[in-house]
């Protein structure tokens, strides 16, 4: 069995016990950014993986969802930010840097521009994980989407967002989780765990049980994981603890309602073919 994981610290609560050898996973772990894991799953190179929510929606005919396992927020997410020099509604025709390493975040950003901010910017490829703020000045842009650990570094009150070390000033900061909540009153699901439909159900269920066990340990040891996250990201441990405790790693009915709402909106604009949800289990 080959199981994919994202290296961002938001996955620490799910994989922390496995990494520490407290919970044993009978599988090979494969690490990659969301777009890499999406591509590996699409090519059948992984049996089970965390993937972008939109990847499941695009290829739901080949995947099944692992129950009660996701990366979600019910309000601010803190790790998916739009940094802008002007208010978002004034970004029409202006250059917004995005990255395809997180297709769900890009799709959510596009929906917010179309339905909430009513602006049509020019989207351009950029590095959404950039943490060297001085390099921001090398790209001509009016706003940029920043995700993952880089968003925590940029958004952390200790490092600040603005004109430091030659970086461009961003007066306006939008947390996409908070913007979705304000728009729909629902939680937002950024990532889900899926299995190939061709994968043995028994083996996939065994992996699922291990991930759930590891998550239970992780949620009970957030202080320990926050210290580890601080060491890897450079963000202070208190901010990492606040971030991890603000995420939800389950997939409850409210989260499913948010996920279905998101998928339905993507279907309406032709981004995905179907919004149907199918879960791993014995028939």
256/269 Cα distance (integer angstroms): 20
10 Å Cβ neighbour count for 24? 11
Residue 142 in any domain: the answer is yes
- How many angstroms separate the Cα of 123 from the Cα of each of 68, 107, 120, 271, 279? 34, 12, 9, 16, 34
Residues 48, 91: one domain? no
Domain boundary at 153, 184, 215, which? 184
Residue 278 in any domain: the answer is no
Q: What is the pTM of this model?
A: 0.91
Query: How far from the centroid of its chain's Cα atoms is residue 115's Cα?
Result: 21
Q: What percent of the chain has pLDDT over 70?
A: 89
Residue 243 in any domain: the answer is yes
Q: For the residues 104-128, what does the mean pLDDT come to?
A: 92
Structure confidence at residue 148 (pLDDT): 82
Domain boundary at 150, 168, 184, which? 184
Tens digit of pLDDT for each residue in 129-159? Answer: 544 444 555 568 899 998 887 888 776 643 4
Structure confidence at residue 283 (pLDDT): 55
- Mean pLDDT over each residue of the chain, to the nearest integer: 89
CATH number, domain with residue 241: 3.40.190.10
Residues 176, 132: one domain? yes
- Band the pLDDT of 163: cuts 50, 70, 90: very low
Q: How many domains does the chain have?
A: 2
Residues 180, 105: one domain? yes
Residue 276 in any domain: the answer is no
Residues 108, 166: one domain? yes
- pLDDT of 164 > 80? The answer is no
Residue 279 in any domain: the answer is no
- pLDDT of 113 > 70? The answer is yes
Q: What domain range includes position 164?
A: 80-184
Q: For the residues 38-66, what does the mean pLDDT come to?
A: 95
Residues 109, 178: one domain? yes
Residue 90 in any domain: the answer is yes
Domain boundary at 161, 184, 207, which? 184
Q: For the residues 215-230, what does the mean pLDDT come to?
A: 97
Q: What percent of the chain has pLDDT over 90?
A: 76
Structure confidence at residue 28 (pLDDT): 96
Structure confidence at residue 200 (pLDDT): 95
Question: Is-contact 112 143, C-beta < 8 A?
Answer: no
Tens digit of pLDDT for each residue in 172-191? Answer: 999 999 999 999 999 999 99
């Amino acid at each position: 069995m080959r199981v994919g994981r994202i290296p961002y610290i938001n996955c620490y609560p799910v994989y922390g016990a496995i990494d520490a050898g407290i919970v044993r996973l009978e599988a090979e772990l494969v690490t990659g950014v969301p777009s890499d894991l999406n591509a590996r799953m699409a090519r059948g190179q992984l049996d089970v993986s965390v993937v972008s929510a939109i990847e499941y929606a695009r290829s739901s005919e080949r995947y099944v969802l692992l129950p009660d396992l996701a990366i979600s927020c019910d309000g601010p997410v803190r790790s998916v930010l739009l940094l802008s020099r002007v208010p978002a509604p004034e970004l029409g025709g202006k250059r917004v840097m995005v990255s395809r390493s997180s297709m769900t975040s890009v799709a959510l950003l596009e929906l917010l521009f179309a339905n909430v901010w009513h602006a049509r910017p020019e989207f351009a490829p950029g590095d959404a994980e950039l943490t060297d703020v001085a390099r921001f000045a090398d790209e001509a842009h009016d706003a940029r989407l920043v995700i993952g650990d880089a968003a925590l570094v940029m958004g952390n009150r200790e490092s600040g967002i603005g004109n430091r070390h030659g970086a461009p000033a961003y007066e306006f900061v939008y947390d996409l989780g908070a913007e979705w909540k304000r728009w729909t009153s629902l939680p937002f699901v950024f990532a889900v765990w899926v299995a190939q439909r061709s994968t043995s159900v028994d083996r996939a269920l065994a992996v699922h049980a291990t991930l759930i066990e590891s998550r239970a340990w992780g949620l009970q040891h957030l202080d320990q994981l926050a210290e580890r996250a601080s060491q890897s990201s450079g963000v202070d441990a208190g901010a990492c603890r606040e971030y991890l405790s603000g995420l939800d790693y389950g997939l409850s009915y409210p989260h499913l309602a948010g996920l279905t709402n998101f998928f339905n909106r993507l279907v309406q604009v032709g981004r995905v073919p179907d919004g149907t949800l199918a879960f791993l289990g014995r028939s």
